[in-house]
Amino acid sequence: MRDPYLEVFAAYARSIQWEDLPQETVHEVKRRILDSLGVALLALGAEAVAAARNLAYEVASPRGASIWGTRVRASPDLAAFVNGIMVRTLDYNDTYLSREPLHPSDMIAPLMAVAEYRDCPTTELVTAIAVAYEIGVSLCDAGSLRKHGWDHVNYLGVATASAAGRLFGLEPEALEHAISLTVVPHAAMRQTRSGELSMWKGAAAANACRNAIFSCLLAAKGMRGPFQPFVGEMGFIRQLLKGEEFDQEAFRSLQERRPPRRILDTSLKYWPVEYHAQTAVDAALQVRGEIEDPSRISHIEIHTFKAAYEIIAKDPEKWAPQTRETADHSLPYTVVVALLDGELTWRSFDPERFSDPLIRKMLAEHTTLWEDPALTAAYPQAVPNRIVVRTRDGSEVVREVWYPRGHVRNPMTDEEVVEKFRKNVSGVLPTAKAERLVECVMGIERSSIHEIVDLMVV
């Protein structure tokens, strides 16, 4: 007996052509590539990036793919790992919210590594990215991994293997084996995002995509994967979904091989924090603008929804973060630092900031958090947060935001996406080089992948 999901994913990945892509899909892929390159270059000096890059330097391969920011090349799977960490580690790339949340642009760096390694046309890269988004987002609609203790990056592995297999030119049977080799050996646990968070929070997605590319390389050389990886007795559905079947309706667009459009359902990040906190930052900064002086704050109330409470608020570590990764995944910390500083940047999560005694005191003694059933009912169509600040003179300021800037219902303009990119690379690339990179990405069908990665060399 064959596995029907293998057939659906592999057939869809191979069937879509550049000519099939709606123009709005192509345009959004360009925006996501530019956004990913910007947040990646901003993270060039991050500890997790340095650790992975130093490993890649030891096994450099002149026939591989580029390590972004350098002229060093490594095998495509290892280059995908390093570059993928760059995109993810500052928690500033895009998001999709459904039964399972996802950061689908985690797949862009790995697919660029494969396309560079294979010398693919940029139109083929754009098509592969659109396909990966379609499969990844559909999986998020089909079933929840998080509630069973497994990590969302398992879905990234499936989608990346499908799209990367296409870039490798795998035949249908080999592509199915590549997906199976990704799924069965590499199940990732949700412990990555539980309690105190480590560097691995920003590396788990890159690792899932690295595994997918390695699986494609193996399948290209004739390696066959386990049969029935999804529907088998000890397969994905039985193990990772605890026997809950996928919602078949979620895969209808794949089964009917519709042109990919699901990237249009995903959201960009305006702030470098976990997505469920985006509206909390908006609301907190609105409050700060009204009270002006943070010393006036007597007490802070955060009213949020269930998913935000479970992911970025319930653990005691979120109330006294010890790592950057915990801080940018802490709803209470994010609100407090935005209120005190009147801004929120990636520097807001430096150790000297989250260890500040005043912030510790505000979190421990002057901040409370509540789950509001009305806000919970609005999720995931909205990500609503309400901030209530009481001042020392007895007044109260309340702000509530449902759709952050960058959300599908409050999208960032092209000018805002470009400005975010410019800001992120301003201390990394010369202005002329940055502007040329914008031109190359936004006109990617007239560019080459090699020119794009060369422009990223610092």
CATH at residue 20: 1.10.4100.10
pLDDT at 244: 97
Stretch 187-215: mean pLDDT, rounded? 97
Neighbours of 233 (CB within 10 A): 7
d(CA 198, CA 204): 10
Does one domain contain both 259 and 363? no
The residue count of the chain comes to 458
Percentage of the chain surpassing pLDDT 90? 100
pLDDT at 228: 97
| Structural domain contains residue 163 | yes
Choosing from 265, 292, 326, the residue where a domain stops is 265
81-105 pLDDT per residue, tens: 999 999 999 999 999 999 999 999 9
| Structural domain contains residue 414 | no
Stretch 353-381: mean pLDDT, rounded? 97
Does one domain contain both 245 and 333? no
1 pLDDT tier (thresholds 50, 70, 90): low
Q: How many CA within 13 A on the CB side of residue 119?
A: 1
d(CA 56, CA 53): 5
Bridge partner list, 437: none
403-445 pLDDT per residue, tens: 999 999 999 999 999 999 999 999 999 999 999 999 999 999 9
List C-alpha distances in Å: 424 to 13, 274, 428.
Answer: 33, 18, 8
Residue with tokens 């000519």: 19
DSSP assignments along 131-168, one per residue: HHHHHHHHHHHH--SGGGTB-THHHHHHHHHHHHHHHT
The phi and psi torsions of 324 (rounded to 5 degrees) equal -55, -45
Choosing from 243, 265, 287, the residue where a domain stops is 265
pLDDT at 189: 98
Does one domain contain both 290 and 194? no
Residue 432, burial from CB neighbour count under 10 angstroms (0-12, 13-18, 19+): exposed
| Structural domain contains residue 384 | yes
- Predicted TM-score (pTM) of the model is 0.96
Stretch 269-277: mean pLDDT, rounded? 97
Please enumerate in sequence order all residues whose Cβ is within 8 A of that of 34, keeping only pairs 6 or more positions apart, or say none: 417, 418, 421, 437, 438, 441, 442
d(CA 436, CA 125): 19
| Structural domain contains residue 208 | yes
| Structural domain contains residue 15 | yes
Amino acid at 434: A
d(CA 200, CA 213): 19
Bridge partner list, 66: 73
Cβ atoms of residues 441 and 425 within 8 Å: no
Bridge partner list, 390: 299, 396
305-336 pLDDT per residue, tens: 999 999 999 999 999 999 999 999 999 999 99
| Structural domain contains residue 333 | yes
d(CA 338, CA 351): 16
Cβ atoms of residues 134 and 95 within 8 Å: no
List C-alpha distances in Å: 235 to 145, 192, 429.
Answer: 14, 22, 46
Does one domain contain both 80 and 181? yes
61-84 pLDDT per residue, tens: 999 999 999 999 999 999 999 999
Cβ atoms of residues 339 and 286 within 8 Å: no
- Dihedral sign for Cα 56, 95, 249, 305, please: positive
Q: Domain range spanning residue 359?
A: 275-401
Stretch 166-175: mean pLDDT, rounded? 97
d(CA 263, CA 246): 21
How open is the CA angle 221-227-228, to the nearest 5 degrees? Answer: 130
Does one domain contain both 112 and 10? yes
Does one domain contain both 135 and 102? yes
204-230 pLDDT per residue, tens: 999 999 999 999 999 999 999 999 999
d(CA 53, CA 168): 24
Neighbours of 377 (CB within 10 A): 12
Residue 43, SS3 per DSSP: coil
Cβ atoms of residues 306 and 379 within 8 Å: yes
d(CA 33, CA 128): 12
The domain total for the chain is: 2
Question: What is the residue-averaged pLDDT of the chain?
Answer: 97
Cβ atoms of residues 91 and 272 within 8 Å: yes
Cβ atoms of residues 187 and 181 within 8 Å: no
The phi and psi torsions of 102 (rounded to 5 degrees) equal -155, 155
Does one domain contain both 260 and 393? no
